[in-house]
């Protein structure tokens, strides 16, 4: 239930391609009372995503991936990004199903257990996309090689990284994408708890 009233005056799909763009004409309630003037906003529709940070509690290692990202290239940044595993939720899928599917497709690993981290809006000023993050328990000794789906032109390098080195990447500002940064920061905050609950003798 919204905090304030929202009047949708019109909604129109103005682009229908690999992604969609909807244009809204609307008015919304104001903090001090009354309604706003009519505003027009475009919303980028790309679905909802799941991100998985593979973690090996026995070796205290995370598994990261590296791949080309056209958005980073267009922004003038380094286009080969160090990331976590991620994918879009398809029709009829749950977030947990996507997590298990993507960790296999993008890293070649199997997730023994998933730990829900957080769900957030990716960029609410312009897209409806939400991201649901999980920590995935894996055997990092098996990590490596090039993975991804050929029909999606994926070229994904997989590598294991000691937890301490992952922390250094965060503290030195070397992770430049929000999903990966949020997942690693979550692990930093909960590391001791994860190690206790995913005790190797369990």
Residue 187: Cβ within 10 Å count: 20
Cα dihedral across residues 112, 137, 153, 93: positive or negative: positive
Q: Where are the alpha helices (DSSP H) in the chain?
A: 70-74, 95-107, 163-171, 178-197
Residue 112 tokens, joined: 């023994």
Which residue in this structure is represented by tokens 């998985």? Answer: 52
Catalytically annotated residue among 152, 153, 154, 165 = 152
Of the candidates 60, 58, 51, which has an alpha carbon nearest to the alpha carbon of residue 166? 60
Which residue in this structure is represented by tokens 């003038």? Answer: 76
Of the candidates 197, 168, 200, which has an alpha carbon nearest to the alpha carbon of residue 184? 168
Residue 184: Cβ within 10 Å count: 20
- 127: CB partners within 8 A, 6+ apart: 43, 44, 45, 46
- 152 has catalytic annotation: yes
Q: Give the active site residues.
A: 152
């Amino acid at each position: 239930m919204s905090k304030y009233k929202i009047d949708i005056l019109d909604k129109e799909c103005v682009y229908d391609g690999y992604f969609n763009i909807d244009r809204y004409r609307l008015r919304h309630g104001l903090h001090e009372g009354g309604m706003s003037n009519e505003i027009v906003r475009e919303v980028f529709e790309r679905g909802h995503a799941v991100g998985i940070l593979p973690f090996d509690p026995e070796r205290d290692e995370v598994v990261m991936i590296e791949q080309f990202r056209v958005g980073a290239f267009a922004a003038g940044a380094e286009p080969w990004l160090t990331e976590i595993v991620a994918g879009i939720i398809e029709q009829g899928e749950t977030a947990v199903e996507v997590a298990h599917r993507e960790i296999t497709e993008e890293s070649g690993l199997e997730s023994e257990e998933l730990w829900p981290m957080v769900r957030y809006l990716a960029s609410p000023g312009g897209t409806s996309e939400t991201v649901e993050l999980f920590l995935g328990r894996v055997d990092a000794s098996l990590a490596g090689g090039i993975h991804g789906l050929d029909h999606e032109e994926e070229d994904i390098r997989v590598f294991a990284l000691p937890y301490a080195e992952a922390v250094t990447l965060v503290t030195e500002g070397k992770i430049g994408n929000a999903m990966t940064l949020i997942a690693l920061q979550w692990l930093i905050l909960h590391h001791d708890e994860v190690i206790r609950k995913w005790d190797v003798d369990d």
